[in-house]
Structures are given as structure tokens and as C-alpha cells.
């Protein structure tokens, strides 16, 4: 049931960093054998606001994101995720949907899935519905993968909904299992104190990279199996209190395998920047997301931050912290 016209519904959904196992969450892999991703949510967010418009507005739907849309019907909405979320969780207009983010889109931090999760949650709230975390994650995955045909995996939706540091297993029967990796505060603090993101300035659609990766799924199977085993090892070691230097080395091992899965995952400039950071003292790292651009992530020793920063020249540096929660309701405040 829809709520009062004066209500504003706002959600906050975290972005994520995928450490190891990315690619094994793609259906082209987990439909044949189980996949595993180790990831964490961070204190950078997508905010989504949904509000009823006064009937004096001429349009039925007004959307405000990187552009503005004013349309008479759902079918006319250009933002494909917003359009299909509204079809799945119908809310009659006139309706306003707005979104903004702490970091740029197409940067390898799962922003599209966080937007889908945040919007679906807000629409359910407007309808007065409570849905489970599992249902919300599956709805977001359904919109992006089944309806829109995006060549992505299912890790981002689950990370955005559940939040925290997790091992996420993708099984051949289509089920997904979340294992929270409970770490000592000392380790988490050290890990995130030494985690740095560097903005390459390159935005890209993951679809081109992932389309090629999916097309090469058979020839990449051994590499993906290796990445899954690296994720298994990382999960095991993290539960025992893995130090940042060893963590960085495992990330580097994952990156060296992943960069060969498709021709556009890396390029000469990304390789150059990565090598500069390693030579300057970074323990290890990776390019976030599917590849091709976005953020480079490194584990950097406390006394080496200046050297790495200097080696990377004019790249903007972003520090992040651990976010233990997934998508939450901000407005109206729940009692």
C-alpha cells in the first residue's frame, strides 16, 4: 500500500571493494562450478530519494541523477535501471527519484548495483513493504542480469544489501551463501589504515570488458579456478588475522591472473601506474571492478604512503574505512 504524499523515502547504500575471486560470480562460471568472492563494503555511498510529486506537476516521473528526466510514462525513462526497478516494484506517479554518490560512477566499486539496491529498497518502503535481504539482492540481480542483460555477476548486489566483510559463495544451483568474516578490530583498523584508492581518471563501462571475458569463459576456466582458490586462501588467512603485507601480496597474485582474462582489463597506462606504486613500496593491489579504468587500490605501509603518492603523480587519492552495514533506510527514520 502506498504511503502519504508528503513522505520522503531515502536510502543509503554502500559501495564495495572486491578483493579476490571476481569473475567466479559470473553465471558463465558458477553455472558449471561453485564460485567465491571475498569483498567488503566501504564508507562511500549511493543515496536514493523517492518522493511523491504534487499533482500540479505535468510529468508523471521526474528523475534527477547525472542528468534530469521528465517523462509521462515508465516506458519513456532512459535510465534503464530506474525504469526496470519501477516496473518490478510499481509505484504510480507523479513521482520524483533522485540519486547522488560519494564517488564517480563506472569506477569499479559496484555503483550500478548499489543504485539498483537502494532504489528497490526505497520503492518497497514507499509501498509499506518489508523485504528480506535475500529477496532484495535477488531482485536487484534480476533487474540487472535477467531483464537488462548486463554481462555482470551477482557479487555487487549481495555486497550492497548485506554489507560488511564477507566470503560470498555462488553455487551451481543458483543459490548464494554469505559468510561474514569476523575480524579483530585491530586487524580491520590496520587493513583500512593502509588501504588507498587512486583515481585513474578513466571511466568505462564494464560491459565491454565482461562481454569479452564471458566469451572466453572456457579458455579462462583454469585461471578462474585459480582465482577462486586464491579467494579460498584469502578467506582462511583473514580469519586468522592476516597482516597487510601478506594481504597485499595475495591481492597482487590475484591481479596478475585477472589482468589476463580479457584484453581490456588492463592497458599500458594502468600497468605503468601499477608498477610505479609497487616500486615505490606498495605491498600489492589491483584495479577495482571489471577493469579498464576506475580506481587502483593498493595496500601501502604507513611509512610508504608519501612515496607511493609521489610516484603516482597527479592521481587523486581516496582513503576509505570499513562499513559494516548494507543498504539502510535514512528517511523516514525507523523507530
Catalytic residue annotation: 156
What residues have CB less than 8 Å from 272, skipping those under 6 apart?
Answer: none
Give the whole-angstrom CA distance, residue 86 versus residue 74: 7
> Strands 95-101 and 35-52: what pairing?
antiparallel
Grid cell digits, residue 86: 519501477
β-strand partners of 11: 48, 329
Give the whole-angstrom CA distance, residue 238 versus residue 234: 6
Grid cell digits, residue 287: 584495479
Give the whole-angstrom CA distance, residue 68 versus residue 245: 45
Amino acid at each position: 500500500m502506498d504511503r502519504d504524499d508528503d513522505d520522503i523515502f531515502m536510502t543509503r547504500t554502500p559501495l564495495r571493494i572486491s578483493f579476490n575471486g571476481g569473475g567466479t560470480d559470473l553465471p558463465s562460471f558458477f553455472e558449471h562450478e561453485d564460485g567465491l568472492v571475498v569483498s567488503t563494503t566501504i564508507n562511500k555511498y549511493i543515496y536514493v530519494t523517492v518522493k511523491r510529486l504534487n499533482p500540479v506537476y505535468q510529468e508523471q516521473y521526474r528523475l534527477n541523477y547525472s542528468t534530469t528526466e521528465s517523462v509521462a510514462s515508465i516506458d519513456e525513462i532512459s535510465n534503464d535501471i530506474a525504469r526496470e526497478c519501477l516496473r518490478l516494484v510499481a509505484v504510480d506517479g507523479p513521482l520524483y527519484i533522485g540519486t547522488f554518490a560519494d564517488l564517480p560512477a563506472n569506477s569499479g566499486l559496484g555503483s550500478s548495483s548499489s543504485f539498483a539496491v537502494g532504489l528497490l529498497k526505497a520503492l518497497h518502503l514507499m509501498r509499506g513493504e518489508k523485504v528480506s535481504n535475500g529477496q532484495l539482492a535477488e531482485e536487484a540481480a534480476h533487474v540487472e542480469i535477467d531483464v537488462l542483460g548486463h554481462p555482470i555477476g551477482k557479487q555487487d548486489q549481495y555486497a550492497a544489501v548485506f554489507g560488511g566483510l564477507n566470503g560470498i559463495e555462488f553455487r551451481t544451483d543458483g543459490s548464494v551463501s554469505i559468510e561474514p568474516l569476523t575480524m579483530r578490530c585491530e586487524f580491520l583498523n590496520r587493513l583500512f589504515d593502509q588501504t588507498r584508492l587512486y583515481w585513474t581518471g578513466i571511466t568505462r563501462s564494464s560491459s565491454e570488458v565482461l562481454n569479452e571475458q564471458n566469451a572466453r569463459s572456457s579458455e579462462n576456466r583454469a585461471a578462474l579456478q585459480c582465482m577462486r582458490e586464491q579467494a579460498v586462501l584469502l578467506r582462511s588467512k583473514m580469519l586468522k588475522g592476516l597482516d597487510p603485507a601478506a594481504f597485499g601480496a595475495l591481492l597482487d597474485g590475484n591481479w596478475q591472473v585477472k589482468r589476463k582474462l580479457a584484453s581490456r582489463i588492463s592497458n599500458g597506462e594502468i600497468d605503468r601506474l601499477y608498477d610505479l606504486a609497487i616500486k615505490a613500496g606498495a605491498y600489492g593491489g589491483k584495479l577495482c571492478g571489471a577493469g579498464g579504468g576506475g580506481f587502483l587500490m593498493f595496500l601501502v605501509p604507513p611509512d610508504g604512503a608519501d612515496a607511493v603518492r609521489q610516484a603516482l603523480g597527479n592521481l587523486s587519492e581516496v582513503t576509505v574505512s570499513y562499513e559494516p552495514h548494507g543498504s539502510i533506510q535514512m528517511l523516514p527514520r525507523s523507530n
